[in-house]
Amino acid sequence: MAYVKHPRIVPDTVEERRYQTNMVNGCLERNSLLILPTGLGKTIVALRLAAEFLDRGKVLVLAPTKPLVDQHRETFTTLLVGARVGEMNGNMKPDTRAAVVERSDVVVSTPQSVANDLEAGRYGLQGFSLIIYDEAHRGTGNYAYVRVAGFCPKGARCVGMTASPGSSVSRIEEVCINLHLRRIDVKSDDDPDVSPYIHYTYVNRIELNVPQDLMDASALLRSILDHFVGEMASLGLVNPSWQISTTYMLTIGANLQARLSRGEKTAIVFRGLALHSICIKLLHAVALAETQGMTPLRAYLHKIEEEADQKEGGRSAREIVKRPEFVGVRSIMDKSNVEHSKVSRVMSIVSRTVNSDPDAKVMVFAQYRETCEMLVSKISAVEGARVALLVGQSNGGLKQKEQVALLDGFRGGEYNVIVSTSVGEEGLDVSSTNAVIFYEPVSSEIRTIQRRGRTGRKNDGEVYVLVAKGTLDEVLERSSAEKEAAMRARLEKLSQDLSRGTSPIVRKNQMKLDGFR
């Protein structure tokens, strides 16, 4: 094996890979967006770029979460020679962060901290030669990456990195313009210089039936939904021939809010807003019944009942609770101990994986925290499974320091199963994961790619996608597949256009993206 030879990189530690070298060389010439499949070493590309730019000035590495910041800091500290690596986050005092910037050659930080400090004038980016945006697809709207980019000094090199930029050319355009990226370097699994390093990910689609108790609860909830949708139709607020979905309801809600903001304070608008709130709640309850299970459904309906008991507010919840069908749903939940068919399948996959290999690791992703908590309880009964729950900080969740410790325990073998919400999807190095389980499909192609990328990084991996037949799961699965196919097609065309020196990514009064050799 050949290793990278560079005075700033510890000898015999970083494998020489041609596609990484090509990416580094391209970034030396122009600000670039690097699109590289998960598990192929975006962090190593960042490290090699830092080694090239350190003699020109400081290096700033931005990552969206503290666990990812910790991961990068450890990599840079371990592999860089003669560089002081400092870490910053929002839990540190501003003066402490300013001191880190002053004394460090490489600063690794969450972007919100840097954006806030720059806007407060605590320090500037003069003296920085390289700024790296990890998970650069976040660089839209008013996200902190965009705010930091506004302070980027002329002459500093800017590099964005992502595995999943999104299916929309306009979104890619926005990221590139916001972060001053003038070149796109796209690599895929099929590229000749990449394919030798690819470990295959086998995707297993598993269809499951929804248990009868949950179907009965869903039918009653849909009956309540039909009643209120019928009232909306009588007011001319919905088209009765259109399929009622959350997306459609959100559009109706936005239209009603727009009418209200224009001064249309009529009984129809106010009743429409109330009915919209009711329907959104019921659609969510139906989705929980059909795709999640009895425990998450029970927890959500309990919240509706608590809301209905409030003296102020809670009108939409009271209208739901007083329906006779709701009483029927409550009766089913009180009598039934059944969980979704997905639960037993998750337990079976986990058992087979961890007991076939003592070093095996599994990640289970679920959309809702209540589902994750229920799965932790169930999987804990599986022989050989050492389970941990990975959730975000909100609502009494895990602080970022606790998230880091949990992931360290996963890598070190203290845990061999992690059940995670979306917080575990992005960027984290869990390289020895043997299997990833999607408790449900997600409609976002970015999140699908990120979830799938938690396996197949150092060895072949298995992905299991659980789909409840005849439910929202099928809609989300189809949406994600279509978006991912569109993303790959557009990236392929974009790469071809750029290689010819042309770019479809042009905004009026903005600089074009340059082609690359």
CATH of the domain at 125: 3.40.50.300
Q: Residue 376: CB partners within 8 Å, gap ≥ 6?
A: 387, 388, 389, 419
Q: Tell me: do 68 and 216 sit in the same domain.
A: no
Domain count across the chain: 3
> Residue 364: in which H helix or E strand, if any?
strand 362-365
SS3 32: strand
N-terminal to C-terminal alpha carbon distance within the chain = 27
Residue 483 domain-assigned (yes or no):
no
Structure tokens at 322: 């007083």
Tell me: the pLDDT tens digits for 268-314?
A: 999 999 999 999 999 999 999 999 999 999 999 999 999 999 888 78
In terms of residue numbers, what domain contains 471? Answer: 201-209+340-475
Q: What is the DSSP string of 196-233?
A: GG---EEEEEEEEPPPHHHHHHHHHHHHHHHHHHHHHH
Residue 482 domain-assigned (yes or no):
no
Q: Tell me: do 347 and 325 sit in the same domain.
A: no
**How crowded is residue 352: how many other Cβ atoms within 10 Å of its Cβ?**
13
User: Can you give the length of the chain in residues?
Assistant: 517
State residue 208 phi and psi, 5-degree precision.
-135, 150
Q: Are 46 and 116 in contact (CB under 8 A)?
A: no
Residue 9 domain-assigned (yes or no):
no
**Tally of CA atoms within 13 A in the half-sphere of 351 that contains its CB:** 12
**How crowded is residue 304: how many other Cβ atoms within 10 Å of its Cβ?**
20
Tell me: the pLDDT tens digits for 427-448?
A: 455 556 888 898 998 766 555 5
Q: Are 182 and 148 in contact (CB under 8 A)?
A: no
Q: Tell me: do 148 and 232 sit in the same domain.
A: no
Q: Tell me: do 300 and 365 sit in the same domain.
A: no
Residue 509 domain-assigned (yes or no):
no
Confidence at residue 203, expressed as pLDDT on a 0 to 100 scale: 81
Q: Tell me: do 297 and 424 sit in the same domain.
A: no
Q: Tell me: do 303 and 383 sit in the same domain.
A: no
CATH of the domain at 323: 1.20.1320.20
Q: Tell me: do 142 and 246 sit in the same domain.
A: no
**Tally of CA atoms within 13 A in the half-sphere of 224 that contains its CB:** 29
Q: Tell me: do 61 and 184 sit in the same domain.
A: yes
Q: What is the DSSP string of 149-204?
A: HTTPPTT-EEEEEES---S-HHHHHHHHHHTT--EEEE--TTSTTTGGG---EEEE
Q: Are 105 and 83 in contact (CB under 8 A)?
A: yes
Q: Tell me: do 44 and 121 sit in the same domain.
A: yes
Q: Tell me: do 252 and 230 sit in the same domain.
A: yes
Residue 492 domain-assigned (yes or no):
no
Residue 290 domain-assigned (yes or no):
yes
Cα dist from 381 to 37, 354, 368, 372, 378, whole Å: 35, 13, 21, 15, 6
State residue 463 phi and psi, 5-degree precision.
-120, 130
Q: Tell me: do 225 and 300 sit in the same domain.
A: yes
pTM above threshold 0.85:
no
User: Which of 335, 363, 386 lies at the terminal end of a domain, its last residue?
Assistant: 335
Confidence at residue 509, expressed as pLDDT on a 0 to 100 scale: 38
Q: At what angle do helices 18-29 and 42-53 cross, to 10 degrees?
A: 50
Residue 1 domain-assigned (yes or no):
no
Task: Give me the residues of the chain with pLDDT under 70, please.
Answer: 166-167, 189-190, 198-201, 424-432, 443-460, 484, 488, 491-517
User: Which of 335, 353, 373 lies at the terminal end of a domain, its last residue?
Assistant: 335
Q: Tell me: do 106 and 34 sit in the same domain.
A: yes
Residue 219 domain-assigned (yes or no):
yes
Least Cα distance to 461 among 471, 470, 469, 451 occurs for 451
Confidence at residue 445, expressed as pLDDT on a 0 to 100 scale: 54
Q: Name residue, tokens 């337990």.
A: 347
SS3 423: helix
SS3 323: coil
Cβ burial, residue 139 (10 Å; 0-12/13-18/19+) = buried
